[in-house]
Structure 1
Amino acid sequence: MANAASGMAVHDDCKLRFVELKAKRTHRFIIYKIEEKQKQVIVEKLGEPAQGYEDFAACLPADECRYAVYDFEFLTEGNVPKSRIFFVAWSPDTSRVRSKMIYASSKDRFKRELDGIQIELQATDPTEVGLDVFKSRVN
């Protein structure tokens, strides 16, 4: 089903992989990409459970927009292990204006397809998705 605002559909694989991340913890992160020619959001990369934040950050292209989901694990002040699922709207300043517009207009509908997102981040440069930003948002 296409998004009225941007005409982007969401590939079934996007939701399926998200459910795997959320329920089975088979992925640490998922990078999503909009295929403009096919007019749909697809899964570009899956992060293995053993991969960490550096691996995730390295998958965000320097000059192209992406959506990403990251399962962030942390310890509470009482040393209790927890995790939060972050949705990242990655839109670097160096990406094309058209691309930024398409990602911005498709974001809300795409995010609604992923039931279980707990925290959202908007980022235009690597400092806005730094590990310290994730840590500050879970406390």
Structure 2
Amino acid sequence: MANAASGMAVHDDCKLKFLELKAKRTFRFIVYKIEEAQKQVVVEKLGEPGQSHEDFAKSLPADECRYAVFDFDFVTAESCQKSKIFFVAWSPDTAKVRSKMIYASSKDRFKRELDGIQVELQATDPTEMDLDVFKSRTN
């Protein structure tokens, strides 16, 4: 079913891979891309479980928008090991205006398809996705 605002559909693989990340922790992160020609969101890259936040940040293009999901492991003040699933709306300042508009108008519906997101992060440059930003959003 296409998104009424932007006409974007969501490929089934997007939801299936997200469920694997959430339930089985098969992936550390997933990067999603809008294929304009096909008018749908597709999986662009899967991060292996052993990959780091740095690998995740490097997998986002410097001048193109993307959606991404990151399974962030952290230790609480009480020394408990936890994880939270972050949804990142990556929209760098250098991206084309049309691309930013398409990603912005499709984001809410796409995010609703991914049941289990705990934290949303909007980022326009790498500093807004720094490891410290993730840590500060886990409270």
2:85 — aligned with what?
85
Q: Could you tell me how far apart the structure 1 residues matched to 2:55 and 2:126 are?
A: 13
1:14 — aligned with what?
14
Q: Could you tell me how far apart the structure 2 residues matched to 1:123 and 1:10 are?
A: 22
Q: Could you tell me how far apart the structure 1 residues matched to 2:94 and 2:23 are?
A: 35
Deviation track 1:40-92 (CA, whole Å, cap 9, x = no partner) reads: 00000000000010100000100000000000000011111000000000000
5+ long unaligned stretches in structure 1: none
Q: Could you tell me how far apart the structure 2 residues matched to 1:11 and 1:129 are?
A: 26
2:94 — aligned with what?
94
Structure 1 stretches (4+) deviating beyond 4 angstroms?
Answer: none
Q: Describe how 1:22-37 pairs up with structure 2 within 5 A.
A: 22-37=22-37
Q: Could you tell me how far apart the structure 2 residues matched to 1:65 and 1:83 are?
A: 25
1:128 — aligned with what?
128
Paired residues, what number?
139
Q: Secondary structure at the match of 1:32?
A: strand
Q: 1:86 corresponds to which letter in structure 2?
A: F
Q: Secondary structure at the match of 2:31?
A: strand
Q: Could you tell me how far apart the structure 1 residues matched to 2:136 and 2:74 are?
A: 11
2:5 — aligned with what?
5
Q: Could you tell me how far apart the structure 1 residues matched to 2:78 and 2:118 are?
A: 21
Tell me the percent identity: 81
Task: State TM-score, norm by structure 1.
Answer: 0.99
Q: 1:48 corresponds to which letter in structure 2?
A: E
Task: State TM-score, norm by structure 2.
Answer: 0.99
5+ long unaligned stretches in structure 2: none
1:107 — aligned with what?
107
Q: Secondary structure at the match of 1:85?
A: strand
Q: 2:92 corresponds to which letter in structure 1?
A: P
Q: Secondary structure at the match of 1:138?
A: coil
Q: Could you tell me how far apart the structure 1 residues matched to 2:90 and 2:103 are?
A: 9
Q: Secondary structure at the match of 1:104?
A: helix
